[in-house]
Amino acid sequence: MKKVIFIFAFILCVACKTEEKQVVEISCGQCQFGLTSQDGCDLAVRLDGKAYFVDGADIDDFGDAHDEQTGFCEVVRKAEVIGNVEDNRFKVSSVKLID
């Protein structure tokens, strides 16, 4: 019986942790959003006017970060993401660029 209760509680906890699909600005946290808590170029999103470094995707997953036309260190782009803010970082499970 304890095992059944534990499994039910585990499933309930996993189900309650919701990841929301939303459209955000995405770019380099240092170059475009002014984040200073890390060194080097790292992917970040800005939602509701606040920028967060991203866990679950890398800045180079989307091509050359320093490309003048599309690179995240040069331009801010829009993306549809699935994820949530956790410990002042954005935990992403899906990123789809929309521009």
CA–CA separation, 74 and 42 (whole Å):
13
Which domains does the chain show, CATH number per domain?
Answer: 19-97 (2.40.50)
Q: 77, 59 in Cβ contact below 8 A? A: no
Read off the tokens for 25: 């600005």
Of 7-16, 30-39, 47-56, 65-74, which range is least confident? 7-16
CA–CA separation, 29 and 32 (whole Å):
6
**Residue-averaged pLDDT of the chain:** 87
Q: 73, 43 in Cβ contact below 8 A? A: no
Task: Write out pLDDT tens, residues 78-91.
Answer: 999 999 999 999 99
CA–CA separation, 75 and 16 (whole Å):
35
| Residue 34 φ/ψ region, left for φ over 0, alpha for ψ in the -120 to 50 degree band, beta for the rest | left
CB atoms within 10 A of CB 39: 7
Please give the model's pTM, rounded to 2 decimal places. 0.79
